[in-house]
Structures are given as C-alpha cells and as structure tokens.
C-alpha cells in the first residue's frame, strides 16, 4: 500500500511539472522554437548522461546500446520513437509560444484515446460498448471544433498522434527510463549540434548572445525534460495502469487553465461544447477501464 502511495506521488508530481511547462516556455518566447528544441535535445542528453555517470551506470548504457544494435528492429524502432518525440516537443513549444495552449491541452486530452486506437488496429484489442460511445463523443468534439475554427485542429491531433505512437513503440522496447532517454536524445544530438553550429555561423543563435537568464533557462531545458519523464517512469511501475491513466488528465487541465485564465486565449461557447464532449468521452472511457480492472481482479481471486 505504501509503495502504491509513493507511486501516485511520483506520477502526480510528473504531471504537475508537465502542467506548468507552458510558463517555462513562455519565458523563452523571444527565442525561436527551433533553437529551443535544439537546446532541449542537447541539454537533455548531457543532463541524463551526467546522472548516469554519477550513479556509475555508464557501462550499462554501453551494453544497452550494443544490445539494441544486435536487435536491428528495436534499434530503428527506438530511432523512429526519438524522431516522433522530437517532433512532439517542437510542435508543443511552437504552439505554446504562438498562443495555442488551449489546442495543446486538447491534444493531450485526446492522446489516451489515440493510444487505444493503436491497440485496436495493431494489437487487435476489443472495445466495450461504453468505450465505443466514448470514441464517438470524442470524434464529435473534434468535428465541432474543426467546423467552428474553419480549419483542422492540426496542433492538437499532431501532439496526440506523435506522443501516442511514441508511447506505443516504447512499450515494446524494454529499457531503463533514464538510459532510454539518453539513447533517444543521443540519436538526435548530432543533428542538434550541427544545427547549432549553423545558427552560430549565421549569427542567428540567441544562446550566449542574449542575457544570463535566457542562457540558464536554455541549459535547464535538459532537466525540465528529463525530470518529469524519470519521475513518471519511477511511479508508474508502482501503481495500476488505470490509476496512472486517470492522473494523466492533470497536465492538460492545468494547460487549459493557463491558456484561458492566465494567457487569455479564446475559449467561447463552441470550445466549451467541443471540450465538454471530449471530457464526457474521457469520463466514460476512464470509468469503463476502472470497471474492467476491478472485474478482472475479482475473477482472478
């Protein structure tokens, strides 16, 4: 019981950090999104590598890389996962700093439903009647928002799809969370370094050419990236899956609050209708998953 409580605290902590991250990115709004992403990749790699070396796990990291190389399908799957999460980071940073926080929250609300769709298509999982209703409601919510905007909510759906596919691939590769993050960012770090060299050569880099606060915030993007991921990985192993699924709505709820209340983004009656449909879908979906989990436990006893 104590282990489960500890797990809940770790997972809640990770989603609280993710929930307030728009504030962090807003403090870097004067930096181009591509440079923020470049710095985030580099510093996330250096931060995780430093921690791995401090805890004397460097040898295990090399063994992980060697094992991955022997299993080429897993090696390239992780590379694809790395590309997907990098794309997700860029879309998210760009959206926050271009006043689309509400759409980012929509994306992370939709994300678990996309994950289930992947399970249906690739793992041949079945949906209950309640879950089918949930998907219908969520789809209607997206359609309402699309029609009201007059354009496809590509930010929300891109965030949901890239992160869902990333998570789907990661679940099929057994790696320690910290070392896994180090390898993922290692894939992208050569590209990031090359891009930074290009920015410096053209005199377009903000890093080291602005104020100390900006430089520190750019460096700390590595910790801001790694810390919640490691906290989540540590906690999720100690709690039932349906509990972590319920907790994950903390982050998009906080993002929505920040977007509407703090940064005064538009949220009228149409947005309320669309979000209400998606919230209704998530409630139906979550309750059905909890019911399934309880039923499975009873049958196992």
Report the b/e string of 241-261 with b at 16+ CB within 10 A: ebbbbbbbbbbbbbbbebbbe
Determine contact, residues 277/137, Cβ cutoff 8 Å: yes
| pTM of the predicted model as reported, rounded to 2 decimal places | 0.87
**Per-residue DSSP letter, 259:** I
Instruction: Read off the pLDDT of residues 115-169 as tens digits, 9 standing for 90 and up.
Output: 878 878 887 777 778 878 888 888 888 888 777 767 778 999 999 999 888 888 8
Dist. CA 72–CA 57, nearest whole Å? 23
Give the domain ranges of the chain.
Answer: 2-300
Instruction: Read off the pLDDT of residues 202-245 as tens digits, 9 standing for 90 and up.
Output: 999 999 999 999 999 999 999 999 899 888 877 877 776 667 76
Dist. CA 88–CA 176, nearest whole Å? 21
Burial of 29 (0-12, 13-18, 19+ CB in 10 A): middle
Dist. CA 85–CA 165, nearest whole Å? 9
**What φ, ψ does residue 152 adopt, rounded to 5°?**
-70, 130
Dist. CA 206–CA 26, nearest whole Å? 15
């Amino acid at each position: 019981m104590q282990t489960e409580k500890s797990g809940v605290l770790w997972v809640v902590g990770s989603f609280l950090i993710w929930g307030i991250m728009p504030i962090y990115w807003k403090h870097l709004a004067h930096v181009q999104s591509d440079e923020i992403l470049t710095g985030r990749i580099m510093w996330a790699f250096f931060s995780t590598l430093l921690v791995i070396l401090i805890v004397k796990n460097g040898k295990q990291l090399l063994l992980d890389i060697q094992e991955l190389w022997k299993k080429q399908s897993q090696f390239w799957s992780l590379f694809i996962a790395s590309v997907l999460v990098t794309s997700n980071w860029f879309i998210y940073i760009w959206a926050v700093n271009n006043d689309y926080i509400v759409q980012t929250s929509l994306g992370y609300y939709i994300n678990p439903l996309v994950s289930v769709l992947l399970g249906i298509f690739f793992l041949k999982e079945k949906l209950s009647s309640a879950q089918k209703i949930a998907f219908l409601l969520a789809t209607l919510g997206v359609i309402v928002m699309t029609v009201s905007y007059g354009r496809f909510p590509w930010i929300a759906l891109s965030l949901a799809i890239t992160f869902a596919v990333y998570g789907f691939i990661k679940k099929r590769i057994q790696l320690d969370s910290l070392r896994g993050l180090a390898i993922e960012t290692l894939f992208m770090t050569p590209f990031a370094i090359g891009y930074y060299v290009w920015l410096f050569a053209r005199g377009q880099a903000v890093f080291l050419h602005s104020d100390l606060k900006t430089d520190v915030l750019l460096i700390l993007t590595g910790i801001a990236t790694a810390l919640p991921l490691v906290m989540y990985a540590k906690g999720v192993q100690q709690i039932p899956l349906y509990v972590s699924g319920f907790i994950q709505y903390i982050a998009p709820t906080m993002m929505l609050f920040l977007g509407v209340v703090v940064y005064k983004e538009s949220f009228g009656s149409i947005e309320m209708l669309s979000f209400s449909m998606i919230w209704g879908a998530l409630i139906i979906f979550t309750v059905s998953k909890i019911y399934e989990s309880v039923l499975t436990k009873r049958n196992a006893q």
